[in-house]
Structure formats: structure tokens, C-alpha cells
Chains A and B, each alone.
Chain A
Amino acid sequence: MSDRMVRIVEILIDSFLPLLKAGLAFTVPLTIISFLLGLMVAFIIAIIKVLNIKPFVSIASFYVWIIRGTPLLVQLFIIFYGLPSVGITLNAMTSAIIGFTLSVGAYGSEIVRAAILSVSKGQWEAAHALGLTKKKTLFYVILPQAVKVAVPSLSNSFISLVKDTSLAAAVTVKELFQVAQQITARTYEPLWLYMEAAAIYLIFCTILTFGQSKMEVWFSRHMAQ
């Protein structure tokens, strides 16, 4: 083996643990926390829109419009670098969580809304005829059916989020990609290090995809049609 090869292998081995640690300490929690909070936002926004809850509908639409119409990276910069100038200083991780939550909330709300609208009108009518209010109809009749429809799309956006969290490197979160950049700066082996980082993302996503298919099976079994 040439000296260069030996050096590269050494660097890859030495950097594997720091990268994995960064992944487990920042990438994974950032993904999970943002996703769960984002889901809550998504459902709230979708419900506001479907029930047409007056003062909030336009706020909800405005929010979705802004988030979907501007780059996530720019949003992260505004939160982390921009807000301090109006006196709101957030640490890097908090900024990233807020940014990703807002993003998941906006895109997720459209998924949830579409799923709600996919439930047949007859379900609303039957519930109305039984005397259920719109709110009760939504909670007891429509949402359980809509969730089932939304699960595949939502779990796709979860997996996208794992990868999107690499953007948090740009606002100094010490997640996987940021650590890869740091090691690269020291070792000048960008090709190999970024490949290694990619491989770790791939491992995370593969595990999650596996979990996703398990969950979909569970949903189709436990929410019989």
C-alpha cells in the first residue's frame, strides 16, 4: 500500500468516531426534536385551515407561503445571524431546531391537509347527520383516516430532514457535516472525508427507512380499512 493510501485509511478510521458521535449527539436529536415539533405545527395549521378558524387562517397561509417560498438556508441565517440585531439571540442548536420545525410544519401541514381532504365527503355528511360538530367529526372520524393516508409522505419528509440537518453546519451546529468540514480543514482530504460523512448519513437513513416500512406495516394492520 502506498503511503498516501495508508494515511487516508488512518484519517478515515480516526475520524469515524468523532463523525458518528456528532451524528448521534446533534444530527439525530436535531432531526427527531424538529420533526416532532414540526408535526405538531403541521397538524395545528392543517386543522386551522380545514375548519376555517377565522382569525388564524390567514396567518397560517402567510406562514406556509413564507416558509415554502424561501430557502431553508436563508431562514436559518435569519434566525441565527439576523435575529440578534433585534435583540433575540439564540444558540446555534435552538436556532436550527426552530428553523427545521418551521420547515417541517409548513410542508407537513400541506401533506396533512391533503390527507384530510382525501377522506370522502360522505364521511363528513354521515357524521353531521349523526349530530357531530365539525370539530368532533375531524377528531373522531376524519383525522384517524387521514393519518393513515399521510404516514408515507410524512415519513419521507422525516428522511429528507435527516439530510437537511446538514444545513445546520452553516449556523455552527456541531453536527456531522460540520465535524467533517473541520477534519477536512485539518487533513486536506475532502473527497474521502465527505464520502465518509455521506456514508454515515446513508447508514442513518437506511436504518430509518427500515423503521419507516415497519411503521407503515403497523399502521395498515392497526388501522384496518
Chain B
Amino acid sequence: MMIKIEKVYKKFGTLEVLKNINMEVAQGEVVCIIGPSGSGKSTLLRSLNHLERISSGRIIIDSELLDERKDDIDVHKISSKKVLEICAELGMVFQRFNLFPHMTVIENVMLSPIRVKKVDKKEAEEQALELLRKVGLLDKKDVYPSKLSGGQQQRVAIARALAMKPKIMLFDEPTSALDPELVSEVLEVIKSLANEGMTMLVVTHEMGFAKEVADRVVFMDNGEIIEENIPDVIFKNPIHDRTKAFLSKIL
């Protein structure tokens, strides 16, 4: 298993945002998480690289223990070095891109290989060019992010995440901040990753995309996983009323 999430709870103060989440993602699997706003999708994703700390439960990434806590106290203390090592195996793409505005496109992509993995500059550059070619932005390599459209920025962000050669990619609503006409160029890039066998966890409101690429769709509501199944079942014959209600609202 690439990701194992066991009995995870998360509280913000008294607000319980995740309630007994159990989930596994196998090597090469593409899992889409859908659900209404505030259901805890981002919180769950962010727990996978310590951007949020869970309150209780256990998270294992590629057989390495990332977090084990009980009532907001560490059961096992994981060193921050270890956490960053595990983070480096997880690429994350944010809704709002979060590119580094003072760096050109290629500098954005080269930063972490050079500074974290100590790859030499020449090699990092070759690899960055290759990634930019893959996301179709080779011609923008020396441009600053502010000069790019949202769709282009998001593709750079994907290239930047891939530069660490992650084993798993996490996407948190990668197209929600985009103008409708820019959505497909980003989804195409994500699809191509899926076709290459990348393990992926994608929070999305793009049901068409989920239908097409997901091996499994997880429906979350109010901090719980209500049901999970192959896309065909979730979208055509959902078991739970809450799933039906949600889908009828957005489809």
C-alpha cells in the first residue's frame, strides 16, 4: 500500500472535521475524493504531509510511519527530518498554485531538487526542461509566474511537484481556481500522469474527470467517508442517500 490511513480523527478546537477515516491507496491507483464544501477533503489531504496534524489515528506512507497520534499527542514522535523525507515522496498541487513569484518558471521547478536532493545544477536543469516539455510549457521557462495564465501556472506547479520524483501525487482541487476554458489543459496533464501509472489522490469537483480516470471514488460528507466504489457504481448506483443527494445537486 502506498497510503494507509487508519482511524483518523481531526479536531479544530471543538469542531470535529475528520471522523474515523480509514482508507488505503495502492500502488498505481487513482483515487478521487468528492464531497460538499467543508466535508474535510482538504484537511485529509493535508494530513498526508503534516500540513495539518491529525488528532488521533495513524498514517503510513509507502510503509513509513508518518504520523501516529492519540488525542493530539504523538504516540510516536517522528523527527522533522523524517517528515520532510516522507514529504519529498509526496508531490502536492494546491488549488491556488502557490508558485514562488520571485523565481522564473524553471527556477521554481529546479529549487527543490537542488536544495533538498542536492542534485547538481546541470542535471536539475535538464530534468526541469524535460518536465516543462511534458506539461507543454518549455517556451515559458524563463518567464515569471505572474505572466502566466492560471492554467499555465497550475501546470508549472505540477512540474515543480514532479521534480522531486514523488511516488504519490496529491491534488487539492487543482482546477477550482481556474477559468472554465483553462480547466481541460490541467486535467489533460493529470490524466497523462494517471496513464503513466502514478499513484494519485485527487480532490475534485470535476465529475467527468473522476469518471474517466479514477479507479475508485470516495465520497466524503461531514468528516466521514460515506461510501467508496468504482466510478460506475458511485455515479450510476450510489448506495447512500447522502451520495445521491450530493450527486443530484452537482450533476
Contacts and interface: CB of A to CB of B under 8 A. Distances in A.
Interface string A140-155: 1100110010000000
Interface string B84-98: 110110111010101
Interface residues of B, number: 28
Interface string B62-98: 0000000000000000001000110110111010101
Contact of B87 (A129, A141, A148): A129
Q: How large is the interface on A (under 10, 10 to 19, 20 to 34, 35 or more residues)?
A: 20 to 34
B115 A128 contact: no
B184 interface: no
A133 interface: yes
A120 B96 CA distance: 11
Interface in B127-143: none
A44 interface: no
B209 interface: no
B235 interface: no
B88 A131 contact: yes
B98 A128 contact: no
Contacts of B230: none
A7 interface: no
A168 to B, nearest CB: 38
A128 B51 contact: yes
Contacts, number: 69
A225 B146 contact: yes
Contacts of B164: 130-131
Contact of B160 (A130, A148, A223, A224): A130
A130 B116 contact: yes
Contacts of A225: 101-102, 144, 146
A126 interface: yes
Contacts of A223: 102
Interface in A125-177: 125-133, 136, 140-141, 144-145, 148
Contact of A128 (B87, B99, B146): B87
B50 interface: yes
A128 B51 CA distance: 8
Contacts of B100: 123, 126-127, 141
Interface string B144-162: 1010000000000100110
Interface string B191-214: 000000000000000000000000
B98 A122 contact: yes
B56 interface: no
Interface of A: 120, 122-123, 125-133, 136, 140-141, 144-145, 148, 223-225
Given A127-B100, A132-B116, 14 more contacts: A122-B94, A125-B94, A126-B100, A129-B90, A129-B91, A130-B112, A130-B161, A131-B87, A131-B112, A133-B80, A136-B116, A144-B102, A145-B102, A223-B102
